[in-house]
Amino acid sequence: MSDRVPEGSLLAVTDLAYRAGDFRLRMSVIGRETDTALDMTRDRFGRTVHAGAAAAALTRRNQAAVEAYRTHLAPYADGLLNAARRALDELPPARHLTGWQTVLDALGTSAAEIRRALDRPAAPGSAAERAQHAVDRPAAPGSAAERAQHAALWPHLASWADHSFIASSLVGQHHQPETPLTGEEQQRWTEKAQAAQRRGELELTESWYAADGQPITLAHLIEDDDSTLIALRGDPDAPGWQVIGHYAHEYGAGQMLPAPVPPGVLRANVCLQELLETAGQFAAALETVQGRQIAVRLAALGRQIDFLIREVHEVAEDLGATVAVLPPHRTPQPRARPRPAVDTTPPTPPRTPTPARRR
């Protein structure tokens, strides 16, 4: 392509990260559109009642994902992975590096599978052709073989949508000159910050993990109605943390401090409140004595859950106030997401926004 920039340059790696981010955004849009279409095929209990429409929605999703990858990411995927691997090799030893290497390897495997399906036909009459007829050679547009090919590629496309942010973050890891405080300065600022913390005048604003696995936290140190932005290394709620710098503003701090690495993940996949509501509706719809009794019990449980949810939200606000992030060694587990069966696709649970600011 004529718009390529020299491999390894800062402009090149920035462009690679942008291409991956653009693909993730497009896949997010495709996912939302598909969820909306699938919701229209279900009844109020989440059961698919229009199987043909659901299958058509998944077919459109698969085709759109293939085209998004082919057009916007395929020319850059190998370059992104190579740059990410080089960046990984340059990082200091840390607990999370093995997990990141596993993610990069999985992305490489998925990229190879996609490339093989779209560009490289299997040898005619070979076992590979017979075993993977729908994935090993380009299929005629609109044919059943093409639909099967796209469906088989979906788990690999979804893997890139879910996990390529780690590759993007790695290529963005470049050395930032942290100006260390002298031993005497560091001790003086740390003691000032500790005193402010005891007075309740150390306001944490943002936190992230550096490439070496150490947490970095920005905080406002308040003294005599004056506020100074400082950076801490270590857990602010445990002994041993130290002030590593003070800055005029957040932009300056961001320029001088170690860059953030991707935080860890912890994803819930069960919504108890929605389950109780759906089960209660089902029990009431039975129009039997036992069904009504169960519906009453579920309603009572629902009220208890509502109370607990309010309590959880209050605790979540307190948790958000810690501005903590999950450690980077909690890397996502790469796995091919299966294509949901048309007649068993559950409704997508609602997402609850988090109040704390994260990098």
pLDDT at site 130: 46
pLDDT at res. 9: 60
User: What gap in Å lies between CA 23 and CA 68, rounded to an integer?
Assistant: 7
Burial zone of 158 (CB within 10 Å; 0-12 exposed, 13-18 middle, 19+ buried)? buried
What pLDDT, on the 0 to 100 scale, is given for residue 138?
54
69, 160 in Cβ contact below 8 A? yes
- In this prediction, residue 179 carries a pLDDT of 64
- Residues (pLDDT < 70) of the chain are 1-11, 120-142, 174-179, 266-269, 271-273, 320, 335-359
Q: Where are the domains of the chain?
A: 10-171, 183-256, 272-321
Q: What is the pLDDT of residues 58-76, one digit of tens each?
A: 999 999 999 999 999 999 9
- DSSP assignment, residue 4? -
> What tens digit of pLDDT does each residue of 250-299 get?
988 988 898 888 888 755 447 666 777 788 888 888 777 888 888 888 88
Q: How far is residue 8's CA from residue 10's CA, in Å, rounded to a whole number?
A: 7
According to the model, what pLDDT value does residue 174 have? Answer: 64
| Residue 11 confidence (pLDDT) | 65
- Are 153 and 114 in contact by the 8 Å Cβ rule? The answer is yes
Q: What is the predicted pLDDT for the residue at 203?
A: 94
Query: E strands, 21-139, where?
Result: none
Q: Report how far apart the first and last C-alpha atoms of the chain are (Å, whole number).
A: 33
This prediction's pTM: 0.68
Looking at this protein, which amino acid is placed at residue 9? S
Return mean pLDDT, the chain.
81
Distance CA 179, CA 352 (A): 39
Strand runs labelled E in the chain: 202-209, 215-223, 226-233, 242-247
Query: What pLDDT is stored for residue 141 in this prediction?
Result: 63
Q: Quick: pLDDT tens for 126-155.
A: 544 444 444 445 556 667 777 888 888 999
Residue 92 buriedness (CB in 10 A; 0-12 / 13-18 / 19+): exposed
